[in-house]
Structure 1
Amino acid sequence: MHPVSVFGSEASALLDRLRDASPAQAAQLEREIQLEWDRSGSATADLLRKRGADALERGEYDIAVEHFTALVDHAPDFAEGWVERARAFAALGMFGPAVGDLEHALALEPRHYQAIAGLAELLEAMNMPDDAYTAWEQVKVLHPHHEAATEALARLAPQVKGQEL
């Protein structure tokens, strides 16, 4: 049994289907899941998110953090706000706050495989390959066709599990 998603039954049903999907089905389900995750339910939240995303794109990471902070203050139950602010913190090299935000997003949506993937990337950047490998494995359980997870597990396996002689 999975924790109840704050995103409603539609996202939960899509996540359930993703586990058993073919690669083609998985790509479509991934798009549908992201659309569900993107629904903030607030025009203000959407505007703050857009401003933060635009600042990220311009490389203005401090400004992005400000917009995403306003977003999580305005809509603390909107997991994407925490995920986006984590991206901005990571871009600034502020891995501790980034990990904290991803943990908060995962408390809201435990099956948010993109948040887990972000956490795995941070753990790898912090030279914690065993923990990164475990996080990537969790991504694969939720989304068996996740390309970045597949690549990361292959890359980290020799370091984590050793090499066969």
Structure 2
Amino acid sequence: MKLIICAICLALCATFPATAQDQQDVSMDVLFSQLKEADDSNWLALEQTIQSRWARSGSNAMDLLAQRGREAIEREDLEAAFDHLGALTDHAPDFAEGWHMRATAFFRAERFGLALEDLRRVLVLEPRHFDALEGVAVVMEMLGEPEMALSFYRQVLAIHPRNADVKEAVARLNLQLGTNI
């Protein structure tokens, strides 16, 4: 009898949908696939959907810290942004967008080394984070490393081929470096 109950339980578990995290991961894979194949009619909506998903930490308290950090960046109160986003990254170290927002604050404060370190953490957590890849490219370009910048811009285009700013940057750096593609 015990074996029958175990078999029924296993069969039921197999028919239940995946966990919410598994479903989100799968749907993110689908969104990235769609973004790669997007045309002018839908790429912006896909980009915004992905960014919206990245912005959700899964915790109301962490989302509040993120909101406060974002607002502080917008009003150029970088010290407050560092406080809020430092707390966010301390309490939610697996939340890639927290690191991305803090990298943005560091970039605005011209603390490029710290920005790059936070962008590295973003990319460890979410290698497809096209905004973080673009951030690395921008910093590399500002630091006088156009070849590295071009490499990161190309990585963005491999994920998000409709990004007009990145396409312009690639064209500009190709011209500057005398490269092709």
- Structure with greater contact order relative to length (CA < 8 Å, sep ≥ 6): 1
Match of 1:45 among 62, 65, 77: 62
Match of 2:79 among 62, 82, 94: 62
Give the equivalent residue in structure 1 for 2:109: 92
Unaligned 5+ runs, structure 1? none
Q: How many residues end up aligned between the 2 structures?
A: 158
- Matched with 2:8 is none
Match of 1:35 in 2: 52
Q: Which amino acid aligns with 1:101?
A: D
1:77 is matched with 94
TM-score by length of 1: 0.91
| Contiguous gaps of at least 5 residues in structure 2 | 1-21
- Could you say what the CA RMSD is over the residues aligned between the two structures, in angstroms? 1.5
Q: How does 1:1-165 map to 2 (within 5 A)?
A: 8-161=25-178
Displacement of 1:121 in angstroms is: 0.8
Which structure: larger Rg?
Answer: 2
Letter in 1 for 2:101: E
Instruction: Report the CA distance between 1:155 and its aligned residue.
Output: 1.4
On the 8 A contact 1:61/1:92 being kept in 2, the answer is: yes
Deviation at 1:91, TM superposition (A): 0.8
Using structure 2 for the length normalisation, give the TM-score.
Answer: 0.83
Using the alignment, how far apart are the partners of 1:69 and 1:113 within structure 2?
A: 22
Q: 1:75 and 1:162 mapped to 2: Cα distance?
A: 41
Deviations 1:117-151 (A, max 9, x none): 11111111111111001100010010010011111
Which consecutive segments of 4 or more residues in structure 1 shift more than 3 A?
A: none
